[in-house]
Amino acid sequence: MPDPIGDLANLTKMLWRLPTEAQALVTIINSGMLGPERADRLFAMYQALDRYGAMGASVSVAAIRHGSRTGLVDELGAVTFTEMDKRSNALANALRARGVGPDTGVGILCRNHRGTYDASYGVLKAGGRALYLNTDFSAPQAKEVCAREGVELVVYDEEFRDVVAGVDAPKGRFVAWTDDPNRGPGDGPTIESLISAGNASPPPAPPSPGNVIILTSGTTGTPKGANRAQPRSLTAPAAILSRIPFKSREVTYVAPPVYHAWGLGVSILAIGLGSTLVMRRRFDPEDTLIALAEHRCTALAVVPVLLNRILALGEDRIASVDLSALRIIASSGAQLEGALATKAMDTFGDILYNLYGSTEVAWATIANPADLRAAPGCAGKPPLGTRVRIFDENAKALPNGKTGRIFVGSGMEFGGYTGGGTKEMIAGLMSTGDVGHFDSDGRLFVDGRDDEMIVSGGENVFPREIEELLAAHDAVVEAAAIGIDDEDFGQRLRVFVVVRPGHALDATAVKDHVKANLARYKVPREVVFVEQLPRNPSGKVLKRELALIKVES
């Protein structure tokens, strides 16, 4: 039956967003993502977008606008945007013939290479659900997650054969990459064989656009599947472009894994811009530096731990290569400490950008170089079309300077966890699960996870403030703080410190440093020295593993 109230609400929402959509259009045009085109090309682009959605069609649009330009460079060489589009068409048609369509889960367990994008676009064009699996998964984890997410077909790199061996995949399993030069047809089917034999014509429109399932970081337990539909608003790309000056037809090196939201998101954005993607299957700081110079990369996408590894090569080595084309280093995925941000800009110039967000809310804020110089460690300001608010425990909005829970509204929030449930909502905004505050200039600072707050002797302590302070110490590589149960104080603060090679540091010096810079109740009761902090592949510290470390009393 007609719903006049609902129709009016939708119309009102659309009209309210018109000014933002107009701004987004201008931003996109200025980036070169859209421009004057012949009528036949415009119609072909519209057809692709209508068939496959914004994400699924991005490679087709790039092929129409930038066909013969190199779209991707990996260890196998270069492929053009036209070749990428035809490869994904052929694979989509082959997958459709095997029953992949709406609500078909396809698990993708691949490193960064062309096959990962073949599979991604092939699944989206077929209308399936692309589930990106963590390359650090064990066999039991892969089996559990694939069963939970309803995976029916698996695409994997051959090195992960044993990891996916227990996954039930009735529609087949296909190798995307092999390091074995003697591999023959008897060793199992490959997506290359499907592509070679497939019809490269655009597949028919699926009944509904395909979507992607990004797994949460899993720093506190088994990762959840975050269901993300394809964007239906111009603000999706424009929000990023409004704060990070990516431009069309440039060259972007993608270092984070594509199964991570940041690696996937920046890849799709670069392809939409008609920019060449450069990648390697495994990250190596020296190889990355060489590739940046060789391919005249204009942008480098990283997570902080990878940026730190590049900087560890030393200023002399970095200065020895020609990085004059590099004008953007875009970091996301984990905490970017102020000391690391400052060191990176002192080394590469003021070209560093820091995106803060989560798998669930997408982006929240972006810090540009001016923000990071003025307030190292900040998360920046909300981009175009994004609202960020700080609420207390009673859902009351807090003013600048007050710490509370961070909530975000961007229009790109996820559609809920695949196993059920979602994030808390207040006034149409979604929780990031973090706590933080705005400074007087409107820059957001993330103080920590809302479930990491330590209450010691009645005082609230957020680990990040202590971690930032210690990370800036000349003798410290990195540090992490956690709360440990204590009979007298409720919790006591324990910090884990990685000492920089060639330096000496003891527990007393660490405590004295904190005491000299922070309130007395923030001084750690215990200091534990470790060789490195446990991290997941996106660089986030696994504090649950730190809590399991036995400490001599």
3-state SS assignment for residue 134: coil
Q: How many CB atoms lie within 10 A of CB 392?
A: 12
Please list the rounded mean pLDDT of every run of 10 residues in the chain (553 residues): 50 63 92 92 94 95 97 97 98 97 95 98 97 93 94 97 95 92 66 95 94 74 73 86 97 95 95 97 97 98 94 96 98 91 97 94 96 96 96 93 93 81 90 94 90 74 86 92 81 92 94 90 92 82 85 70
Spatial separation of the C-alpha atoms in residues 52 and 205, rounded to whole Å: 7
Residues of the chain with CATH 3.30.300.30: 454-546
DSSP 365: E
> pTM for this one?
0.85
Query: Do residues 131 and 155 make contact, with C-beta atoms less than 8 angstroms apart?
Result: no
Helix 463-471 / helix 507-517 crossing angle, nearest 10 deg: 110
Query: Do residues 22 and 385 make contact, with C-beta atoms less than 8 angstroms apart?
Result: no
Residues of the chain with CATH 3.40.50.980: 80-230
What confidence score (pLDDT) does residue 220 get? 47
Supply 450's token pair. 């809302």
User: Kind and range of the H or E element at 116?
Assistant: helix 114-126
What confidence score (pLDDT) does residue 181 get? 61
What confidence score (pLDDT) does residue 221 get? 54
Spatial separation of the C-alpha atoms in residues 122 and 383, rounded to whole Å: 31
Q: Which fold has domain 454-546?
A: GMP Synthetase; Chain A, domain 3 (3.30.300)
What confidence score (pLDDT) does residue 485 get? 84
Q: Using alpha carbons, list the distances in angstroms from residue 192 to 88, 118, 175.
A: 11, 9, 8
What confidence score (pLDDT) does residue 453 get? 75
What confidence score (pLDDT) does residue 225 get? 85
Spatial separation of the C-alpha atoms in residues 54 and 89, rounded to whole Å: 16
Helix 114-126 / helix 39-66 crossing angle, nearest 10 deg: 150
What confidence score (pLDDT) does residue 553 get? 59
CATH of 80-230, one of 3.10.20.740, 3.40.50.980, 3.30.1540.10, 3.30.70.100: 3.40.50.980
What confidence score (pLDDT) does residue 1 get? 47
Rounded to a whole number, what is the distance in angstroms from the first to the last CA of the chain?
Answer: 70
Spatial separation of the C-alpha atoms in residues 298 and 245, rounded to whole Å: 11
Ranges of H-type helices in 171-249: 191-197, 235-241
Q: Which residue has the tokens 């592949």?
A: 537
Q: How many CB atoms lie within 10 A of CB 318?
A: 16
Query: Do residues 412 and 362 make contact, with C-beta atoms less than 8 angstroms apart?
Result: yes
